[in-house]
Structure 1
Amino acid sequence: MSRALQFGCVAIGGRGVLIEGPPGSGKSSLALALIDRGAVLVGDDGVLLEVQEGSLIAAPHPQTSGKLEVRNLGLIDFAVSLPVPVALVLRLDGDAPRYVETAECSVVMGVDVPLVRLWPDSPVLALRAELALKTYGLAVA
């Protein structure tokens, strides 16, 4: 059974990165910056999540598939990813710690997924997101 949840999500190298944060925190802007760096859109502000064999799988929501809200421009069409295993949750957080030694854990639909909090106003936020995935993200089988 799948559920639609309010996350943004992109696929990077076959691994899903869920992006969460309060409204206006820059979730869609981070997704756009990651897409510019080679990521593929899974969903903006709503993805279908399903547990398969103990892994969390993210898929585009049929009502918004391929649409990304680009501030000041509206809904823009993008290529959309096939379903991907979720490897990391990024939480945009103005109080994110300056330094971490390990990722936190986010439990999404009963599945433990590494979570990294990122300060949303960084001029290199997309690069930090990619490094977080490389450093703390789950491997894909």
Structure 2
Amino acid sequence: MGRILAIDFGEKRTGIAVTDELQIIASGLTTIQTKNIFSFLTEYLKNEKVELFVVGEPKQMNNKPSESEQFIAPFVQKLKTTFPKIPIKRIDERFTSKMAFQTMIDSGLTKKQRQNKALIDEISATIILQSYLNYK
């Protein structure tokens, strides 16, 4: 089995999370500058087998796509063409940033540590991935 890699795409930063090889545990991997996402993924895939990409799908409360989907859709299309052998699953990412922030509070992180937006993105990617694992 290969890993499942989750992506919390953002205009500036992108959070990445992965499963273990048995696809049981979701763990935050890193947050990278969005402009470097494809070089990061290319390098990562040289060393790890990934059998699925899970990409967050931002939605409004009425279930319609949020405004940020206009940035994510072209990314997903490029992901499909760059790595055509790896399927992509979209997962509703409503409230993941709020859940990530609450997780940081619950973990006892200081106010200064909770201001680390890169950490919020990584935790959000982990929540997206865990949602997928719970769903499948």
TM-score bracket, normalised by the shorter chain, equals 0.3 to 0.5
User: Larger strand proportion, structure 1 or 2?
Assistant: 1
User: Larger helix proportion, structure 1 or 2?
Assistant: 2
TM-score (norm 1): 0.32
TM-score (norm 2): 0.33
